[in-house]
Amino acid sequence: MNNGLKVLLAAAAIGSLSLSGCASTMQYGDAGSAKPISTEFGSSDLQQIAEAMVDSLLVFPPMVELTSARRPVVSVDRVKNKTMQHIDTESITDSIRAKLLRSGKFRFIDRTTDAQTIEELKTQQDSGLVDKKSAVQFGQQIGAEFLLTSNFSEIRQKEGSTTDVYYKFTMSLKNLKTGILEWSDEKEIRKVFNRGTFGG
Amino acid sequence: MKQKKNFVIGGIAAAALIASLALAGCSTTAGVEATGRTSWDEQGARILEKNVVFNSSGLKGDIQIVDVKSAMAGDIMRAQATLRSKDRDTLPFQYRFEWYDAGGIEINSGAGSWKPLILYGRETKTIQAVAPDPRAKEFKLKIREPD
């Protein structure tokens, strides 16, 4: 074969060595990365929703006024997942609750650990192991004043090679005494997938 | 003569091949950093010291930070940056805010996440953030091209 072709083949060989796609790699990724992998609900969507809801609640003027005087007690309700995906919605409310707690403006009660609490208090009261003076009595817990409720829905559209998924997360703060919704906000996310001409 | 010409053609093709392979993995996500620090003047009024740094010349030609503002919601600091796209095309970006207390220590170090942002041709858009707690006195906004 002629020399020009030889040079080209040599260059291709050297070039292919520099392409590292042959070996498998394992590394830590960035937990805050916003690179969408699919139109399914992802970690970046969870982070965006949590931050948007917390930011909105913290700066809402009636809430600013209420939290300037004291820290209201809030209970977090389960998210009504109206999407067709199986999503761990408790992790969304966990993130929101953690951020709101760390802001120092709110206090929270957690109903999911009630069974363990009752068992612990029963042991303190009845087992005879715990000093009566330091044992915690039943009926002293503080009741929640507010309830944080949320809905999560999606609208999925598919046409030809385009898949478009729209997510909407709505959250509201309900005053348990008056029944009034003191605050409500929503976060919308859209993820679009266009299938390329050459597959994948 | 013909042999030499083939060499030259082969050499040019080889160079182009190597160059294109080298450029394939070559995308930077260096970006823009805008900082705002709260301080108080002699009368006790709050002022914001601002600073903008461009780490990427490509981004400098695409995006302009028009203004950086901050306000207080109660005792929690809020930040807002106004961005303007200098490009005619729709450009995707990612941004994130980091917060520091009065001593310059980062609050919630490493906990922030990047958020997607789309700027349409020559559009002006504002992005906002709220500090995680009342200790925050300074923020840093980072903008980059998507990874």
Nearest residue of chain B to residue A64 (CA atoms): B74
Mean pLDDT for the stretch of residues B19-26: 44
Instruction: Strands of chain A (E only): list them.
Output: 73-81, 107-109, 146-159, 162-175, 181-194
Low-confidence ranges of chain A (pLDDT < 50): none
Question: What average pLDDT does this structure show over B69-90?
Answer: 92
For residue B7, the model assigns a pLDDT of: 66
Closest by CA to A182, choosing from A101, A93, A106, is A106
pTM of the model: 0.82
Q: Given a cut of 60, is residue B27 above it in pLDDT?
A: no
Choose between B46 and A45: higher pLDDT: A45
CATH of domain B31-144: 2.60.40.3230
- Tokens 């002699």 belong to B42
> Does the CB of B7 have a partner CB in chain A at under 8 Å?
yes
**What local confidence, expressed as pLDDT, does residue B24 receive?**
39
- Out of B14, B73, B146, the one facing A11 most closely (by C-beta) is B14
Domains of chain A: 39-111+142-200 (3.40.50)
pLDDT tens-place string over residues A80-98: 999 999 999 999 999 999 9
Is the pLDDT at B23 greater than 50, yes or no?
no
List of chain B residues whose C-beta atoms are within 8 Å of the C-beta of residue A35: 146-147
Nearest alpha carbon to residue B95 among B107, B109, B106, B79: B79
**Boundaries of every domain in chain B:** 31-144
Residue B9 has pLDDT above 80, yes or no: no
> A102 and B8 in contact by Cβ < 8 A?
no
Report residue A104 as tokens.
């120092």
Confidence of residue B22 (pLDDT cuts 50, 70, 90): very low
CB contact under 8 A, A58 and B75: no
pLDDT of the residue at B31: 84
User: What is the predicted pLDDT for the residue at B37?
Assistant: 85
- Confidence band for B12, pLDDT divided at 50, 70 and 90: low
Q: Does B76 touch chain A (CB under 8 A)?
A: yes
Does B96 reach chain A within 8 Å, measured CB to CB?
yes
Mean pLDDT of B112-126: 93
Q: What are phi and psi of A120, to 5 degrees?
A: -65, -45
